[in-house]
Amino acid sequence: MIHILGLDPVGDLPPCTATLLADAQYVVGAATVLESLDIPQERRLPMGRDMADLAAIIRQHHATGATVVVLGSGDPLFFGIGASLVPQLGDLPLMVHPSTSSLQLLAARLHRPWHNWRVVSLHGRDDTTGLLAALTHAAETLILTDPGHDPAWIARLLLARGAGEAFCLHVGECLGRPGERLRSLSLAKAAGTVFQHPNLVLAERLGPGPTPAMDEAWVHGQGPVSKPATRALALTLLAPGPEATFWDVGAGSGAVAFEAAAHIPQGAVFALERDPTRLAALHANRARARAWMVEIIPGDLATTAPNLPRPSHIFWGGGTHATHLRLLADCLAPGGRLVVSFVRLEVFEILRQHAPQLGLTFSLHHLQHSVGQALADGLRLVPHNPVFLALLEKPQ
């Protein structure tokens, strides 16, 4: 039998599982944990980073009839060793014995229910995609930190995106241990604070989530901006799912990127723009739209696109020519969708000629939209310029 045991916050085993440790022939755990529990050298099994190698060692000992205990912290299935090891052990007989998790301790100290929290781990991770998606969409995000990604680092990340008044950080330090401390801090305060380790953070959003539609007043004077009806049809044609990787190419005001972010709670959104004056507007509009997850990518498309995560969905709002079409077609993931918005008829010919050569299916939509405008004591319809939207799809 294989037992995966969770240690409590001070590194002890709950009494109900102490006997399992005492009776085990072999014990897996971090060197410091094995040392603190006085496990004899002959019973210790090394725990490296490779879970496949560790699983193979456990299998060998299990085949001889030995009982193996694996030591984790808190709930081993909560971002712990159990979550990584259990899939590697297949159908071997095993039992998981959880202790109190750090999440439960923080919730108890804050007197808050935690069933609706989004949970993100930063342990050994430099990719902020999941963190920023959670912070954008969740009212409360539980963040498991490490020394390189502590509460001050989180605060600085959000401050750099203009979120200064949008969050409060509740930080639990050394929970369940001597010197335990709980603090609730603004981002500005947290950014300059030194915290004890280990710690974890509940990021509480103080306002609403991302705006589902851009306010036209935000983008006034920022050059050509797609109309709300155009954006609505484009996003309908693209139909991004909750885990989509979305590019807004030639983002301009960012209206499409920010509206897309409201529909992508677990994915990634990138706004690509080379015009320096529009980049400043992009940063301001991101804060207004509360779309913290949108990554603003400055520079020329040919330079920036190859270094980004491969998109499943692309909106291309202008500057259409064959070279960039080929680049975007190469970047687009199999099964992905690309919508091109244009008003010049010459663009249609570019798409008609090159899309089949690039293996893209092609369909065209024409949008003619009018809005009501007061006239004397009545109402008239004022037409917007007609817009074409081409949907290009890449086979699986």
Q: CATH number for the domain including 172?
A: 3.30.950.10
Q: Does the structure show a pLDDT above 90 at 363?
A: yes
The domain that contains 232 carries what CATH number? 3.40.50.150
pLDDT for 11 equals 78
Retrieve residue 270's tokens.
């990138």
Domain at 49, CATH number: 3.40.1010.10
The answer for 194, left when phi > 0, alpha when psi is -120 to 50, beta otherwise, is beta
Residue 102's pLDDT is: 92
Give, as one character, the DSSP assignment of residue 146: B
The model's pLDDT over 296-330, given as tens digits with 9 standing for 90+, comes to 999 999 999 999 999 999 999 877 888 999 999 99
pLDDT tops 80 at residue 187:
yes
Per-residue confidence at 221, pLDDT binned at 50, 70, 90? Answer: low
Average pLDDT, the chain: 92
Q: Please report the sign of the dihedral spanned by the C-alpha atoms of residue 221, residue 222, residue 223, residue 226.
A: negative
Q: Is residue 217 part of a domain?
A: no
Judge if 183 and 305 occupy the same domain.
no
Average the pLDDT over 382-387 and give the result.
Answer: 89
Asked if residue 223 is part of any domain, the answer here is no
DSSP element (H, E) containing 173:
strand 167-173
Residue 58 main-chain phi, psi, to 5 deg: -60, -40
Closest CA to 323 of 280, 288, 354: 354
Tokens at residue 62, please?
A: 């299990």
The answer, yes or no, to whether residue 224 has pLDDT greater than 90, is no
222: pLDDT confidence band, cut at 50, 70 and 90?
A: low
Please state, in angstroms and rounded to a whole number, the distance separating the CA atoms of residues 68 and 58: 7
pLDDT in tens, 82-124: 888 899 888 889 999 999 999 999 999 999 999 999 999 998 8
For 125-134, the pLDDT digits (tens) are 889 999 999 9
* Same domain membership, residue 124 and residue 45: no
Domain end marker among 100, 128, 144: 100
3-state secondary structure 231-260: HHHHHHHHCCCCCCEEEEECCCCCHHHHHH
Least confident of 148-157, 208-217, 349-358: 208-217
Number of H helices, E strands in the chain: 14, 19
Residue 48: band (very low, low, confident or very high) from pLDDT cuts 50, 70, 90: confident
Model confidence at 261, in pLDDT bands (50, 70, 90)?
Answer: very high
Read out DSSP for 60-114?
A: HHHHTT--EEEEEESSTTSSSHHHHHHHHHTTS-EEEE----HHHHHHHHHT---
pLDDT band at residue 223 using 50, 70 and 90 as cut-offs: low
46 domain residue, yes or no: yes
- Interatomic CA distance for residues 299 and 312, integer angstroms: 21
Residue type, 198: P
Residues of the domain holding 87: 2-100
Listed range (180-184, 186-190, 249-253) with the worst mean pLDDT:
249-253
Q: Are 375 and 343 in contact (CB under 8 A)?
A: no
Q: Report the distance separating Cα 389 and Cα 234, nearest Å.
A: 7
Domain membership flag for residue 271: yes
Domain count, the chain: 3
